[in-house]
Structure formats: structure tokens, C-alpha cells
């Protein structure tokens, strides 16, 4: 479905570690960019041993449309990649009429938008300017320069995806938008020998890492016909059972929310309908050892707002936020226990666990205000507070506390805990410092018990994305024994790099200099070399 290509090479003798590094960067059929860096062992060739990193970008072969005009921005020109031929649409009459009707609706919405200045949340001059702007297809590149020493346990592929529009926007553009036959730019998971790229409003996309280090889209993946709905971008992989837990929401008809799971070999359970009064934005959720924890917050869908050029995602001040706790293996949603948590909106939940002695489920998340600030412009400054939320299943009451003291608090948004402790009690979280919003200036290692916070700043005029914590060993007795990986962009030199930081000491151990710019993106994952060898 997508064409792909592989890129050039640069020799390096800085690093004596006998491994090769590959960086891949992919602009794919779903209108997103995916960047990956591969770490694999090489025979030791002495003091001139080399490392390599591979870079690849894919463009949709079925959406070949002539080059669009570039967009002028406050930070320069956004170039949109060329393509070689026009779309070949062998549609029947009904499809053509439906397309004409949709075009008419879209033209009407755009006409409404042009009557008012675009908010920052939809202004292309903000949303896809600077290092948020698109990147063209890049070939695989090997033997990239490395400063420092890459730790021996890092062997596999680190991937991250994000939006990467192919065409010039004709009106508004949101940070999560993309071009293509679908969107899969908000999350990645490796499950049942498949790398899946995901968003909220489509099926997952199956992406393969080729032996050369390139990225190739296999196409939409419906789990061999079992999945008949969309799947959110943050499914949860249980580190003990190997099961994958997921949600799907609908903005048009009930049930607005469904829960399901997959066995380790990919067999899907039946859908469990979760009763909601309104279609709600559920970007993330959490699991514990025995439960799934589902947020039902105040950010809802109101599709009628689109007719007047507004955002369909709005804040409902009349609604009370709550969390639902449901048995992982429930056959229906009747047993869900709802606990109200007033004035709480968590775009992401970092972890959750059970404390049976107090009948509580503990949820760790970042509470964001204004709740709809990602989707609607507001004069109020965005605040994202790392919080511990306790849901008492016996009394039906909740408590909430700020984990970091007010004088040391910073906006912490994207990140993770040690994946081996997902759904179990964990002490540390590694979270992006989302300042100046929406850029990320570094990350923080937070002790969830004491609130102690250690910060790592990427550097002067250097900004990145979500930190990924990679444990040194699955069986390690120390929760923070591992390294943090992050793509970082230098806005002075206009070059990108991969930084590798020791999670215990919070010191930089290695920097891989990348041959092409990596746009600021969202979430990522790491595939170990052994798993990569068995990918479907």
C-alpha cells in the first residue's frame, strides 16, 4: 500500500561498542511520520568499529497528487513533498455522489471558518510551523556518528510516530491531523509479533521493520477480521499475562464506548458496552492486576459545533468527571463501579494499581486545565499537574493530591513508568516537561511516593518529545535500572539527535547524531532484537 525507500550512510569510529545503529523515519499511507532507530550487534572490528543508524520515509502510492503550494509560516516555509501522478478513482455512481456531498459539507465548513480568525489550536502557522512541519521521505542511513557509549542492553528498534501532513491545509489544521486514507499518528504498540500504529478514529495499521532497517506499511489490521470498530491509541499490554486491553469510542451512536481484550496470541474477546450518556473523548485509560480503569471526563464530542466552524471537542461544565472500575474479564458492563472525581481531566494516565487493604484503586495521571485547551483556544494558561487519585470501591468516594509540591511543579504530560510494572505499584514515572507548551524542553524523573523530582534538560534551544524508559533487565530488582531514550531537535543548528540518559544517575551517556530532521511527535515504543526477528 505504501512505497518506501532506504537511505545513505556515514562512517563513525567514535563508539567502541560493537553494535550497529539504524535510524528510520517514515511518512506513511496514514499521513504520519514514524521515526525509528535500530541497535544491533556487529562483529567487533577493532578500534575502528562502527555504529549505524537507518532513516526511511514512506509516501502513499495510492494517493499520488501533484505538489501543493508551500505554506508560509513565521519560522519559514513548509514544503509539501511532490508526487508523480493523479489519484485514480474507479468509483461507482453512489460513491461519486457521496463524495460530492461530503465535499459540499466540507466547503461549507471551510467557508464558515474563513469568516473568523483561526484559533492557535487550528492555525497552520502555529500547528505545523518550525519543527512541527512535515518532513519528506528519507532513505535508510547507516554508520551514524555517536558521542559517548551506547549501553550494551539497548539492542532492537526504538520507534516514535506523529502527524506529518502531505498537503497544504486549505483552512484549519490541528496538531493531530494527517493526510491519507486514515490516521495512525498518536501511538505505537508491539503485540503478537506485529508493530501497530494507531489513532482514535481508525483501525490500527500494521507496519513492518525490514531487514535493511526500512519501514513498510502492510495496511490496516483488524486482527484477522475480529475487530470491527476503531481502537484508541493507548491499548495496555499486561506485562504478566501478555494480554492486550483496549477501548473503542463512537461519537455518533450508542454504545459510545466499548471495552475488549486480546489474548497473547491475538484472539479477541467480545465487546463489552460501557454505558455513557454522551460521546466522550477517552484518549487513554489504565489497567491494574484485576481491573480496567476508564475515565469519563468533561471533554465530550458535540458534532454540531463543526457546522459553525468550531471544534467538535468541547468542555461540558455541567458534567461531573468520574472513573469507572470494571473487572478485566467482565462479560458485560453492568458491574462497573463509578467514582466521581470532580473537576478532573486526565488526557493520559501513567499507571494504576490496587491497594486491597484500603479498598482503593490508585490512579496516577496528569490533570490538565483548561480541560479542552488542546482543542480550543483559551486565554487561561495551560496547567498539567501530576496527581495521585484514589478511588475507594467500598465507599464510592475519591481523593486527589498533587504529587509534586507547588513550588517545584512543572507541566508534565507525555511519558511512562517501567513497562514491567504496568498495572502494579510503581515508584518512578518519567514524564516530558511540556514547557514552553507545546514544546518539550526535557523530562523529569518523579518519585511518586515522595514527590522528589529530578529534571533532565535537553540543552539550549533543544526540544524533544516523550521520554521512553527502557529497563536494563526484566528481572532487575531496581525499578529505575535502565535508560531513557528521546529524539531531540536543536533549533539553533536545525539538526536532530537521539539522546540516551542513565535513569539512575540522570546523566547523558550517548548521543546519536541524526542525518535528517525529526519533527516533534507523540508516543513511541521499543522492540527488542529477539522480538524483531519473529515479527509478522
**Which segments are annotated as binding site?**
234, 283, 348, 523
Residues 155, 473 contacting (CB under 8 angstroms): no
Among residues 511, 527, 402, 406, which one has the least CA distance to residue 464? 511
d(CA 472, CA 526): 13
Residue with cell 475488549: 260
d(CA 378, CA 118): 13
d(CA 190, CA 451): 31
- Reduce the DSSP state of residue 104 to 3 states and report it: helix
**Which segments are annotated as binding site for Fe cation?**
234, 283, 348, 523
Among residues 19, 30, 36, which one has the least CA distance to residue 60? 30
Cross-strand bridge partners of residue 338: 324
d(CA 369, CA 354): 27
Q: CA 521: distance to chain centroid?
A: 7
% helix / strand / coil in the chain, to the nearest 5? Answer: 10, 40, 50
**Cell numbers of 156, please?**
532492537
**Burial grade of 24 (CB within 10 A; 0-12, 13-18, 19 or more):** buried
**Helix H or strand E encompassing 507:** strand 507-513
Residues 230, 258 contacting (CB under 8 angstroms): no
At a CB cut-off of 8 Å and minimum separation 6, what does 426 contact?
A: 351, 353, 417, 418, 448, 479
Amino acid at each position: 500500500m505504501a512505497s518506501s525507500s532506504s537511505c545513505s550512510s556515514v562512517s563513525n569510529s567514535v563508539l567502541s561498542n560493537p553494535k550497529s545503529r539504524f535510524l528510520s523515519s517514515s511518512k506513511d499511507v496514514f499521513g504520519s511520520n514514524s521515526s525509528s532507530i535500530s541497535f544491533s550487534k556487529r562483529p567487533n572490528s577493532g578500534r575502528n568499529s562502527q555504529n549505524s543508524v537507518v532513516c526511511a520515509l514512506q509516501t502513499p502510492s495510492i494517493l499520488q497528487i501533484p505538489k501543493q503550494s508551500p505554506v508560509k509560516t513565521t519560522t519559514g516555509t513548509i514544503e509539501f513533498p511532490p508526487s508523480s501522478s493523479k489519484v485514480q478513482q474507479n468509483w461507482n455512481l453512489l460513491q461519486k455522489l457521496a463524495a460530492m456531498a461530503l465535499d459540499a459539507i466540507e466547503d461549507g465548513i471551510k467557508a464558515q471558518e474563513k469568516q473568523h480568525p483561526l484559533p492557535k489550536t487550528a492555525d497552520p502557522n502555529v500547528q505545523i510551523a518550525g519543527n512541527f512541519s512535515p518532513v519528506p521521505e528519507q532513505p535508510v542511513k547507516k554508520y551514524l556518528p555517536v558521542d559517548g557509549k551506547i549501553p550494551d542492553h539497548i539492542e532492537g528498534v526504538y520507534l516514535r510516530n506523529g502527524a506529518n501532513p502531505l498537503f497544504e491545509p486549505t483552512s484549519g489544521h490541528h496538531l493531530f491531523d494527517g493526510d491519507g486514507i486514515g490516521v495512525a499518528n498518536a501511538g505505537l504498540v508491539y503485540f503478537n509479533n506485529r508493530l501497530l500504529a494507531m489513532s482514535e478514529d481508525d483501525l490500527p495499521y500494521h507496519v513492518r521493520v525490514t531487514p535493511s532497517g526500512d519501514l513498510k506499511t502492510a495496511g490496516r489490521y483488524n486482527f484477522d477480521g475480529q475487530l470491527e470498530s476503531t481502537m484508541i491509541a493507548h491499548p495496555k499490554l499486561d506485562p504478566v499475562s501478555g494480554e492486550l486491553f483496549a477501548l473503542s469510542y463512537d461519537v455518533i451512536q450508542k454504545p459510545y464506548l466499548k471495552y475488549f481484550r486480546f489474548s497473547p496470541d491475538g484472539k479477541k474477546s467480545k465487546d463489552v458496552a460501557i454505558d455513557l450518556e454522551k460521546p466522550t473523548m477517552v484518549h487513554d485509560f489504565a489497567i491494574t492486576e484485576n481491573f480496567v480503569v476508564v475515565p469519563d471526563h468533561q471533554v465530550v464530542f458535540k458534532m454540531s459545533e463543526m457546522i459553525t466552524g468550531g471544534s467538535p471537542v468541547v468542555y461540558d461544565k455541567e458534567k461531573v468527571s468520574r472513573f469507572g472500575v470494571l473487572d478485566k474479564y467482565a462479560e458485560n458492563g453492568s458491574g462497573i463501579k463509578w467514582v466521581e472525581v470532580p473537576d478532573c481531566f486526565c488526557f493520559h494516565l501513567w499507571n494504576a494499581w490496587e491497594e486491597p487493604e484500603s479498598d482503593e484503586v490508585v490512579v496516577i495521571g496528569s490533570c490538565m486545565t483548561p480541560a479542552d485547551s488542546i482543542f480550543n483556544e483559551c486565554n487561561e494558561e495551560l496547567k498539567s499537574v501530576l496527581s495521585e487519585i484514589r478511588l475507594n470501591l467500598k465507599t464510592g468516594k475519591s481523593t486527589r493530591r498533587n504529587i509534586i509540591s507547588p513550588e517545584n511543579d512543572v507541566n508534565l504530560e507525555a511519558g511512562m513508568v517501567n513497562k514491567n510494572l504496568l498495572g502494579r505499584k510503581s515508584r518512578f514515572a518519567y514524564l516530558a516537561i511540556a514547557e514552553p507548551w507545546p514544546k518539550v524542553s526535557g523530562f523529569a524523573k518523579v518519585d511518586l511516593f515522595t514527590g522528589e523530582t529530578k529534571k533532565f534538560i535537553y540543552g539550549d534551544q533543544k526540544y524533544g518529545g516523550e521520554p521512553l524508559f527502557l529497563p536494563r533487565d526484566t528481572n532487575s530488582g531496581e525499578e529505575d535500572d535502565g535508560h531513557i531514550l528521546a529524539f531531540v531537535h536543536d533549533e539553533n543548528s536545525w539538526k536532530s539527535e537521539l539522546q540516551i540518559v542513565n535513569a539512575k544517575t540522570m546523566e547523558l551517556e550517548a548521543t546519536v547524531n541524526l542525518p535528517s530532521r525529526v519533527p516533534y511527535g507523540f508516543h513511541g515504543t521499543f522492540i527488542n532484537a529477539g522480538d524483531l526477528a519473529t515479527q509478522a
